[in-house]
Structure 1
Amino acid sequence: MNSIRRTLLVSLLSAIVVVLGIGGYATYRTAHDEIDTVMDYNLRQFALSLRDQRFGQPAVSAPDAALDFVIQIWDGHGLRLYLSHPHSVLPDLARFGYTTIDTSDGQWRAFAMSLGDRVIQIAQPMRVRSRLAANAALRTLTPLLVALPLLGLLIWYLVGRGLRPLEQLARGVRAQRPEALGPLDAAGVPAEARPLVDALNGLLGRLEATLASQRAFVADAAHELRTPLTALQLQLQLTERARDAAEREQALADLRAGLMRSIHLVNQLLTLARAEPDADGASRHEPVDLAALVRSELPAHAPLAEARHIDLGAAELAEATVAADAAALRTLLANLVDNAIRYTPDGGRVDVAVAHEGGRAWLTVADSGPGIPPGERERVLDRFYRRAGTDTPGSGLGLAIVKRIAERHDAVLTLDASEAGGLRVRVGFRIQTGP
């Protein structure tokens, strides 16, 4: 498992080591340049100190391992008078001034000058200077390298202290319970972790709303199912107690009607559950032609409308393509048309239309029924809400399903009065402009 604390420790220590390496190299180069300057000065001073020395016949001094310099002296005719090391790899030729000489023993730094009738050259191997520069850089970095473990412990402690608010946040998340979700305390949370806390609080808020909605849905569903199931039980008892065939036939008809109402209620509950905006397995949106959808759906409601002599038709069907779940839109239209037919008196009128307005495609279902007072138009969108004094059979879920499907499609849902005095429901979808 990845650890932020360990990752930060390794990353910071690695960065420090890299910086120390770069700093060490820079220190080495700086020390090398300083030593070059000092040593070049010493070479010149050493050469000047030999101008008063007397050298006779050519001679070679015994080598001294402690001496880092090689001294060569020539007379005016090019005869070497003195060589401090018998096996020097330096060429038997001097170039006046400072020079760097490549030899089989590495590079040498030399200084040569003419003093009277003599030529004096002092040379020194460059490895001596490199060793001195490396020692100087190492002495500079040694305290930092020794302090590196202590620095690692300090980083470990400080990172752990900095991550302590995240541990408190984790404890706050673990303390949450499904039955009592609440926002996390953002006090003392670092600015870097504040977006995480805000996101978690938003998630907890949505989860609390979803759970509350589910609890309310289950409670309402149980309440609404209790009445038809009790009625079915009573109708079954009446059927069992029937004294003749006619009475039994009537009881069976009532039982059959009760079963159909219960099946319709259960189907509406399932449809509502699938229409929830946060329902699992959200369907894919695809191009849907609203006009074609209306033409294909209206014939299914024609028998019920004809039985009650209701004029069901399409007043205007403009071509409009929207990105939507075709099955969900079919359910939405079916609920709107079914509600309009149920609440429209015999001989009334139900009109369906598709039109363009304000950059949206509007699906409209208007009826000539009693309508809904403005004060109750928001309430009828709630689950299981039925207006007082309504004797038309229903589950109170039709418009609630329409509302959920509209929310899933980011559509605008409005309820107002129709021209015939009934209810007009309009659903505005965003028009699909591309493929």
Structure 2
Amino acid sequence: MNLRAATGPTLTRHLLAWALGALTLVWAAFIGFAYMTGEHEADELTDGHLASVSSLLLPLAAGGLREAEGARGLTDGRDLRAHDYQRSLTVVVWDAQGRLISRSGDAPAPAFDAGEGFATLQVGAPARAWRSFSRWDSGHAHRVTVMLSQAERDDLADDIAEQVVAPGLWLLPAVALVLGMAIHRGLRPLRRLAEQVHALDTRDARKLQAPVRYEELSATVDAINRLVERYHAALTRERALANEFAHELRTPLASLALQARSVRDTAPGRAQQEALRLLEQDAGRAGEVLHHLLALARASRAELHESAQPVDLDGVARRVVSDFAPDAHAGGRELGLTSPGSFALAGHPVLLELALRNLVQNALAHTARGTQVEVELDPQRGWLQVCDDGPRREGEPGEAASQRVQPLGLGLGHRVVEKVAALHGASFEPDIALPDGRRCWRLCFPSPPESGQA
């Protein structure tokens, strides 16, 4: 599969979008803060300039600060604005009685005010805003006011703020470009890993190799390798079982065809009845194979897809015993349950019930009439077992009897129990001989929970 041909959202775009979104917020806050800082500093600069000029001119106030003859050209506004940061100032001098001594600059003379310090005055017709600073000399004989147009002051503040903000305006595009290239390059190991995952074949036991053993990728690689191992093991088991099923089904299916032909060709009577009995037996055997095939398929599906859940084995055992009790009684056998109460564990209730049904069914099928079959639970030691005290059927010694009575010669019922046990981390111990002469088939679960005494 060509990863470049894939459409839709990509992790690179996702990461870049989040990174640029966060960066844009920070950038916008920085630009706004820088602009406000620039304006504030520009205002401080002009106020400081007004105060400096007043301090410089205050000692000369006694002479009236009158302009020399023919010096008008020095106060031309165009000359004063020859520099970006050069602004035209107006200087007004009063005496102690508030009489205007001199005025230079473009601003009209404001009304006399004995106060000192900074102020924003509205003077002229029409009125315009002027920033001013006023100060008295040490003898309180003269008062000097230096004024600057508020519009010029704001223009200067805007100019300084723009100069402060200007570097940040190209910073975001540059950082976005570099960040995109860095994220694209940094995600290269992840893209290589994705290519290897797409190239995996579950029929092959080959494990995935991380392109670079980064700590963040190690857990992903290990999880994928575990999943591949589980799938490969499941496929191997199912392949082996499929071969066994094919071999096991071949005989009853062939026998079914022969018996069906025999029934057709045999005249009604004893021989035909025997042929029908064999036909029914072979059909049951084939059905039993299919039943166990479905059970194993269900166990494999649970192993790969389903999660364990709390299960009470006591409830499962009671349900199974109640289902089989009528058939056991009809066959001349007794079926009972010995349990101290709740037996809680984490597992798959359907599979656990399936395994217990196989054990009970085998015990009832293998023993003669009069046998006592007992389902026993011990939560403290963590096991469940099915025991019987009956002998083999007469005339069928040892394993031969089991092979004839049991529908499947391969013991596939026990294979189902082993599969369920392995899925639950348990062990299956078949045909345990107890001191009292009974024989048991036991499932032992790990780490049993605490429970009451038996």
Instruction: Report the TM-score, using the length of structure 2 for normalisation.
Output: 0.73
2:400 counterpart of 1:400: no
Distance 1:198 1:18, change over 3 A: farther
2:375 is paired with a residue of what secondary structure? strand
Alpha-carbon separation, structure 2, partners of 1:294 and 1:286: 14
For 1:382, the equivalent position in structure 2 comes to none
8 A Cα contact 1:370 1:421, kept in partner: no
- Paired residue total: 408
Moved more, 275-284 or 176-185: 275-284
Select which of 342, 345, 348 maps to 1:320.
Answer: 342
Residue aligning to 1:81: 101
5 Å matches for 1:128-277?
A: 128-146=152-170, 148-180=172-204, 182-242=206-266, 245-276=269-300, 277=302
Structure 2 unmatched runs, 5+: 1-7, 67-71, 81-86, 393-398
Answering whether residue 365 of structure 2 is matched by residue 342 of structure 1, we say yes
Please show how residues 26-175 of structure 1 align to structure 2 within 5 Å.
Answer: 28=38, 31-32=41-42, 35=45, 38-48=48-58, 50-51=60-61, 53-54=63-64, 65=77, 66=80, 68-84=88-104, 88=108, 90-96=110-116, 98-101=117-120, 103=122, 105-106=128-129, 108-114=131-137, 117-125=141-149, 128-146=152-170, 148-175=172-199
The one-letter code sitting in structure 2 at the alignment partner of 1:422 is R
Question: Which runs of no fewer than 5 residues in structure 1 stay unpaired?
Answer: 372-386
Task: Say whether residues 1:391 and 2:403 are aligned partners.
Answer: yes
Query: Are the counterparts in 1 of residues 351 and 420 from structure 2 also a CA contact under 8 Å?
Result: yes
Instruction: Flag the 1:191–1:138 CA change in 2: closer, same or farther, 3 A.
Output: farther
> What is the rounded CA distance, in whole Å, between the counterparts of 2:246 and 2:252 in structure 1?
11
Partner of 1:367: 388
Residues 218 and 22 from structure 1, CA distance in 2 versus in 1: closer, same or farther, beyond 3 angstroms? farther
Q: Which residue of 2 aligns with 1:6?
A: 13
TM-score by length of 1: 0.76
Q: Which has the higher helix share?
A: 2
Contact 1:275–1:328 (Cα < 8 Å) also in 2:
yes
Distance 1:157 1:209 in 2: 42
2:395 maps to none
Distance 1:279 1:269, change over 3 A: farther
In structure 1, give the amino acid aligned to 2:64: R
Residue by residue over 1:57-85, the C-alpha shift from the partner in whole angstroms, topping out at 9 and shown as x without a partner, is xxxx9995445322221122111222335
1:17 aligns with 2:27: yes
The Cα offsets for residues 342-368 of structure 1, whole Å up to 9 and x where unpaired, read as 33456544222344425x5x5431124
Structure 2 distance, partners of 1:305, 1:269, is: 27
Match of 1:256, SS state, is helix
Q: State the alpha-carbon separation in 1 of the partners of residues 379 and 194 from structure 2.
A: 51
Q: Equivalent residue for 2:374? A: 351
Is the partner of 2:63 in helix, strand or coil? Answer: coil
Percent identical: 25
Q: Give the aligned CA root-mean-square deviation in angstroms.
A: 4.1
> 2:303 pairs with 274, 278, 281, which one?
278
CA contact (8 A) 2:321 2:335 kept: no
Structure 1 position 110, deviation (Å): 0.9
